[in-house]
Amino acid sequence: MFLTKKSLKKAFLDIKNIFIQLGKIPLIHIEAHGAHDFLKLESGEEVSWVVVAHLLGEVNRLLKNKLIVVLASCHGIQLHKTINVLTPVPFYLLVAPLATAYEQDIKSGFVEFYENWIDHTSDNEIGKNFNRAIRLLNEDRDTEFKYVLSELAFDNRWNQFLKEYPTKERLNSLVDKMLSTMVIRGANPDQLRLLFTSIPEFPDQSKEYFRKKFLMLD
């Protein structure tokens, strides 16, 4: 498929429809040029990792966090750094290059990866052969491939969130911004403010609350 922004969005819509109609849990594999901040399509159009995460998130919400994503793109692992910890995670598992991805590694590496990862569609588990498949994907190659599980993505983003909003004052400012921009529609302002400003006082309970929302466990 010759990818443009329009066809990329249609492809994600088709994937959602396939799941709705057949109940099949998809694995999404994308090969395209990538950079630190965006995915570059064959059309020459650039799609930010934030937008890619949004498109994937629509599918993963439907699947209740069972979506596996493989990005054969330079800097593809940057996708997980754009995740908003306050919204549901866009993937259960992400496999992608850490930095530059070389064509020969993509071609030979993923053939070997998939051949050795035969049970990747088990029920919300990556399967017993996954570690071997990842090891072989990285073996004797110039491209470094990494993977991120949604649980680890939450821990990473939650710690970053606490660094950015360490105090009640900072959290109050965040709530003001959320309410003014309608980031959370239909929310009760008082309840929303209490939820966020309670984080410093009840860190463990707050983390568990947002973890369940992020991983769609409730």
- 106 and 13 co-located in one domain: yes
* Domain assignment of residue 190, yes or no: yes
Both 125 and 206 in one domain: the answer is no
pLDDT surpassing 70 at residue 150: yes
Q: Which residues contact residue 190 at a Cβ distance below 8 angstroms, ignoring those fewer than 6 apart? A: none
Is 158 contained in some domain?
no
pLDDT of amino acid 124: 46
Q: How many domains does the chain have?
A: 2
Q: Which helix (H) or strand (E) holds 38?
A: strand 38-40
Specify whether 46 is located in the same domain as 130.
yes
99 & 200 share domain: no
Residue with structure tokens 């568990």? 208
The pLDDT value recorded for residue 3 is: 75
Domain that holds residue 68: 5-150
| Shared-domain flag, residues 14 and 111 | yes
Q: Is the pLDDT of residue 28 over 80?
A: yes
Q: Are residues 37 and 86 in the same domain?
A: yes
Cα distance between residue 106 and residue 103, in whole Å: 5
With contact defined as beta carbons under 8 Å apart, do 12 and 55 qualify? Answer: yes
33/50 Cα distance (integer angstroms): 16
